[in-house]
Amino acid sequence: MHALWFTLVAGMFAAYAVLDGFDLGVGMLLPLVARDKREREAALESIGPVWDGNEVFLVAGGGTLYLAFPKLFGVFASGFYLPIHVVLWLLVGRAIGLEMRHKVHHALWEELCDGLFFVSSLLLAIFLGVALGNVVRGVTLDADGDFFAPLWTDLRVGANVGVIDAYTALVGVTVALVLAHHGALWLATRAPALRTSARRWAERTWVPVLVSTAAATLATFRVQPLVPRHLAERPWGAALGVIAVVSLGAALVLRRRGRDLAAFRASACFVGALFACACFGIYPYALPDRAGGGLRAADVAASDYALTVGLMWWVPGMIAVALYFGWVYRRTSCDD
């Protein structure tokens, strides 16, 4: 049962990465693709109906984590105390930039809100990537299975690591590039006024995405020995990497053929496959220890009774959410 819930929790955060990822990508590209007020408003209107709903998946993922792995949730909340607060403030900043923009009709105010949206989106993408890098790299656990990570130490990847080091910074930059490319494809699909510019930036970010993803993958094999070991033990997991590579290539080919919606869907598969690769690489550990071993998903899971009862409520709830999101996204047309 714990394996099923590990997959469900991972699925929730993967859904957040795919859905809110293009919102963050739009925010990062806003000063680059939009040259005037009309184009900026077109970019913001493309995510206006969905961005706050997409953000809910982050909250839902945290709730699912607490339901299925309460001890792990407590370890995360205490160990990553400062980074969690930074992410929360960045989420607030992004919401202010979006929702307060139309409260005052003045060019200076609108530029201030657009700047806040850009900065908060960029830093959020980087910090979320850093968070993923921390989970994959592992932390220094004490005898009780707890830890506290400073924001940084000396940036080297050793036994005494901080939240930000050379490896997690690389993952953070990679995630930011991946989501910028994802956001460009979204704009090409949903903002006709920006289609030419969005396609141009999707082209410009594709090679950096490929290079940074390859570099982060090689670094992961070096930093976290669990990943190559689990790949050798479960070679079928290589299929996830193949899906990621094929999806990224498909996004390039489909975009160049003018099939923007199909390219965006391929990018969504790429984002989801990357997240699945990370989860596959560390399982059965939910949080590896830098000294070896770590917190196993089976050891930090709730009781089988709690997991079974939770599943009875979680499944119909998520079906309702999926139907609602499908209805919301169908309200706006997509050109392919």
pLDDT (tens digit, 0 to 9) for every residue of the chain, 336 residues total?
889 999 999 999 999 999 999 999 999 999 999 888 888 999 999 998 888 888 889 999 999 999 999 999 999 888 888 888 899 999 999 999 888 888 888 888 889 999 999 999 999 999 999 999 999 998 888 888 888 877 777 777 776 778 888 999 999 999 999 999 999 999 999 988 899 999 999 999 999 999 999 999 999 999 998 998 988 888 888 899 999 999 999 999 999 999 999 999 999 999 999 999 999 999 999 999 887 888 999 999 999 999 999 999 989 988 998 888 888 777 765 555
pLDDT of residue 151: 77
How far apart are the C-alpha atoms of 10 and 12, rounded to whole Å? 5
Q: Which pLDDT score, from 0 to 100, does residue 329 have?
A: 79
Given this model, what pLDDT does residue 332 score? 66
* CA separation, residue 227 to residues 29, 135, 167, 289 (Å): 33, 12, 15, 13
What pLDDT does residue 53 have? 85
Q: CA-CA distance, 329 to 184, in Å (whole number)?
A: 18
The CA dihedral of 144, 162, 174, 94, to the nearest 10 degrees, is 90
Query: Rg for the chain (alpha carbons), in Å?
Result: 20
Q: Which pLDDT score is estimated for 98?
A: 87
Q: Give which of 40, 47, 52 is closest to 110, Cα–Cα.
A: 40
What is the structure's pLDDT at 324?
Answer: 86
Instruction: State which amino acid sits at residue 130.
Output: V
CA angle 14, 15, 17 (to 5 degrees): 65
Give residue 275's pLDDT.
Answer: 94
The predicted structure's pLDDT at residue 67: 92
Per the structure block, which two tokens stand in for 296? 């196993």
Helix axes 37-47, 166-190, angle to 10 degrees: 100
**Which residue in 244, 250, 246, 264 sits closest to 199, CA to CA?**
264
Strand (E) or helix (H) holding 296:
strand 294-296
Q: Which amino acid, residue 57?
A: F
Q: How many CA atoms lie within 13 A of 40 on its CB side?
A: 21
> Residue 122: its pLDDT value, please?
96
- The tokens describing 163, both together, are 């939240």
What CA–CA distances, in Å, run from 137 to 24, 29, 47, 72, 287?
24, 29, 33, 16, 9
Rounded Cα–Cα distance for residues 271 and 278 (Å): 11
CA distance 336 to 332: 13
Q: What is the pLDDT of residue 233?
A: 87
Distances from the Cα of 323 to the Cα of 8, 137, 138, 330, 334, angstroms: 18, 36, 36, 11, 18
What's the distance, CA 153 to chain centroid? 25
Virtual torsion, Cα 208, 189, 43, 209, nearest 10 deg: -10
69, 300 Cβ separation under 8 angstroms: yes
